[in-house]
Amino acid sequence: MYPENFRYTKEHEWILVEGDTGTIGITDHAQEELGDIVYVDVPKVGARVERGKSLGSVESVKAVSDVYSPVGGEVTAVNETLADAPETLNRDPHGAGWLVKVRLSAPAEILELMTAADYRKYVEAEK
Amino acid sequence: MMDACGIDSPEALFAHLPEAARLSRPLELPAGISEYEIVEYFRQRAAENANGYASFLGAGVYNHFRPVLVDAVASRGEFLTSYTPYQAEISQGTLTAIFEFQTMICQLTGMDVANASMYDGSTAVPEAAMMAVRATGKGRVLVAKSVHPEYREVLATYAKNQGMPVAEFGYGAESGNLDLEDLERQMDSLTGAVIIQTPNFFGIVERVKAAAEIAHRHGALLIVVFTEAVSLGLLEPPADADIVAGELQSFAISPSYGGPYAGIIATKEKYIRQMPGRLVGQTTDSRGNRAFCLTLSTREQHIRREKATSNICTNQALIALMATVFMTVYGKQGLRELAEQNLAKAHYLAGKWKPRFSGKFFNEFVVRAEGKSPGEINKALLKKKIVGGLPLGRFYPELADSMLLCATEMTKRADMDALAEVLA
Which pLDDT value is given to residue A80?
A: 93
Within 8 A of A46 by CB-CB distance, chain B residues are none
Minimal Cβ distance to A44: which of B137, B298, B304: B137
Pairwise CA distance, residues B192 & B162, whole Å: 14
Residues 6+ apart with CB under 8 A from B389: B56, B57, B367, B374, B378, B403, B404, B405, B406
Mean pLDDT of chain B: 93
Pairwise CA distance, residues A74 & B293, whole Å: 40
Which pLDDT value is given to residue B59?
A: 97
Residues 6+ apart with CB under 8 A from B147: B125, B195, B196, B197, B200, B201, B225
What domains does chain B contain, in order, with CATH numbers? 54-66+331-423 (3.90.1150.10), 68-325 (3.40.640.10)
Q: How distant is the alpha carbon of residue A114 from its chain centre? A: 13
- Give residue limits of the domains in chain A: 7-126
Which pLDDT value is given to residue B231?
A: 98
Of the candidates A45, A41, A91, the one whose C-alpha atom is nearest the C-alpha of residue A66 is A41
CB contact under 8 A, B298 and A44: no
The total number of residues written for chain A in this structure: 127
A7-126 CATH pick, 3.40.440.10, 2.40.50.100, 1.20.58.340, 3.40.50.300: 2.40.50.100
- For the segment B317-337, the average pLDDT, to the nearest whole number, is 96
| Peptide bond just before B10 cis, omega within 30 deg | no
| Peptide bond just before B260 cis, omega within 30 deg | yes
CB atoms within 10 A of CB B4: 6
CB contact under 8 A, B307 and A44: no
Q: How confident is the model at residue B39 (pLDDT cuts 50, 70, 90)?
A: very high
List, as own/partner pairs, every contact residues B283-291 make where C-beta atoms lie below 8 angstroms and the sequence separation is at least 24, other chains included: B291/B89, B291/B92
Side chain identity at residue B46, one-letter code: A
Q: Is A39 on the interface with B (CB under 8 A)?
A: yes
Which pLDDT value is given to residue B424?
A: 73
Minimal Cβ distance to B273: which of A39, A44, A63: A39
Which pLDDT value is given to residue B143?
A: 98
Pairwise CA distance, residues B275 & B245, whole Å: 11
Pairwise CA distance, residues A67 & B351, whole Å: 64
Out of A22-26, A39-43, B36-40, B84-88, which region has the weakest mean confidence (pLDDT)?
B84-88
Pairwise CA distance, residues B172 & A75, whole Å: 45
Q: What share of chain B is helix, strand, coil (3-state, %, to 5)?
A: 45, 15, 40
Pairwise CA distance, residues B28 & A62, whole Å: 53
A-B CB pairs within 8 A amount to 12
**CA distances for B95 relative to A23, B90, B280, B309, B320, angstroms:** 43, 9, 7, 22, 12
Closest chain B residue by Cα to residue A41? B273
ipTM above 0.85, yes or no: no
Q: Is the dihedral of CA B26, B28, B31, B35 positive or negative?
A: negative
Q: How confident is the model at residue B60 (pLDDT cuts 50, 70, 90)?
A: very high
Q: How confident is the model at residue B331 (pLDDT cuts 50, 70, 90)?
A: very high
Which pLDDT value is given to residue B405?
A: 97
Pairwise CA distance, residues B179 & B173, whole Å: 9
Contact of B183 with B170, CB cutoff 8 Å: no
The chain B residues in contact with chain A (CB within 8 A) are: 137, 273, 298, 303-304, 307
Residues 6+ apart with CB under 8 A from B157: B126
Of the candidates B66, B76, B100, the one whose C-alpha atom is nearest the C-alpha of residue B282 is B100
Disruptive mutation site among A38, A39, A62, A80 for chain B (greatest number of B CBs within 10 Å): A39
Disruptive mutation site among A38, A58, A59 for chain B (greatest number of B CBs within 10 Å): A59
Using DSSP, state whether A21 is helix, strand or coil: strand
Question: What DSSP string runs through B95-147?
Answer: HHHHHHHHHHHHHHHT-SEE-S-BS-HHHHHHHHHHHHHHHHS--EEEEETTS
- For the segment A33-48, the average pLDDT, to the nearest whole number, is 91
Q: Residue B169: pLDDT above 80?
A: yes
Burial grade of A74 (CB within 10 A; 0-12, 13-18, 19 or more): middle
pTM of the shown model: 0.87
Q: Is the dihedral of CA B37, B43, B46, B48 positive or negative?
A: negative
Per-residue model confidence as pLDDT tens digits over B115-159: 999 999 999 999 999 999 999 989 999 999 999 999 999 999 999
Q: How distant is the alpha carbon of residue B75 from its chain centre? A: 22
- Higher pLDDT pick, A112 / B90: A112
Which pLDDT value is given to residue B248?
A: 97
Q: Residue B84: pLDDT above 80?
A: no
Q: Residue B256: pLDDT above 90?
A: no
Residues 6+ apart with CB under 8 A from B406: B56, B57, B58, B59, B62, B63, B203, B346, B363, B364, B389
Q: Is A45 on the interface with B (CB under 8 A)?
A: no
Mean pLDDT of chain A: 93
Q: Residue B87: pLDDT above 80?
A: no
Within 8 A of A63 by CB-CB distance, chain B residues are 298, 303
**CA distances for B326 relative to B65, B316, B317, B323, angstroms:** 10, 15, 14, 5
